[in-house]
Amino acid sequence: MRKTIVLLCVFQLFMACKSSEEEVMVYRGEALGTTYQVKYFGEQIGMEKALDSIFEDINASMSTYREESDISRINAGDTLVTVNDHFREVFEASRRVYQESNGYFDPTVGILVNAYGFGPEKQLEEPEKATLDSLRAYVGFNRLQLSSDNKVKKDSAKVYLDFNAIAKGFTIDVIARYLDSKAIDNYLIELGGELVAKGRNLAKQDEWLVAIDDPRQEKGERKFQAILALKDQAMATSGNYRKFRVDSATGNRYVHTINPLTGLAEKSNLLSASVLAENCMLADAYATAFMALGLERSREMLEKLDGVEVYFIYAEDDKQKVSVFASEGFKKALRE
């Protein structure tokens, strides 16, 4: 499925000011096709240069928008590309979630997404069965292998790899590692709605507070479904808040999501999935997997995972009603 990032609103927006002993440093910009914010308490540590280097490294390795990137060259059939350690880490995490989700998280599904013409303003058109059958032959993360010398092997040149559903979360983890290496103990990183928080917001003498959007808001509104406190946690949200459709016959809300196993576009009442996990890379991937699985299958998968907490927003059968499922661990992070 095509992942739609649901932007989270960070509650404590503040400019550089003095805490009791440390200064809050704020960096904002655009990268990887979205916006980012990095806030930390401490001294200057060469953050701008570090961010530029991290974003460039990720793009050079995994951006499908760059023809010369490693992943683009691999997709084009170049078998001599030697990928870096970042690529390997994302590849191995993708395989883990692919297996845990029984194939519903699949970085090779993009060829089907494009065939359906998914998009907020586009009319969904189901391809002919013959077309779907032919495309499915190139879908499946098990069709890829990463050799010990860091070369990707595909069982068909037409297999198309896209790490869009996991790369942003991984990028945040890399930024967090840099801050950790500089002995920064209190920070909040946000990239396209994905988050990593460590320590506390010293300016407020509180934990870092963030919010999840209310899917019932109209265009131009900004209302929140929930507020939660993050401390030493990673969080990612995947969803289709503003891309749901209304069934003309029943009036029920639903979203379309592609089943990678069948190639078919299925109706799902799961409007968003927010995930807390050990790192943002996994939170990002799990959030995407849950959107593909739907509510019931996601709850079944969740029972088999350790250290993963969720907040699902889903549409009830009675048209406009929206309900929530929160795991026990996620409930502990919620604020009234």
**CA atoms within 13 A of residue 232's CA, in its CB half-sphere:** 4
Which parts of 138-261 are beta strand (E)? 144-146, 152-154, 187-191, 194-198, 208-213, 224-230, 233-239, 245-246, 253-258
- Strands 245-246 and 309-315, by their bridges, are unpaired
Rounded-to-integer distance, Cα 208 and Cα 217, Å: 24
163-212 pLDDT per residue, tens = 999 999 999 999 999 999 999 999 999 999 999 999 999 999 999 999 98
Band (pLDDT 50/70/90 cuts) for residue 18 is very low
209-258 pLDDT per residue, tens = 999 877 666 666 677 889 999 989 999 998 765 455 555 555 554 456 78
182 touches 22 (CB < 8 A): no
Domain map of the chain by residue range? 9-335
Model confidence, pTM: 0.88
Task: Name the superfamily (CATH) of residues 9-335.
Answer: ApbE-like domains (3.10.520.10)
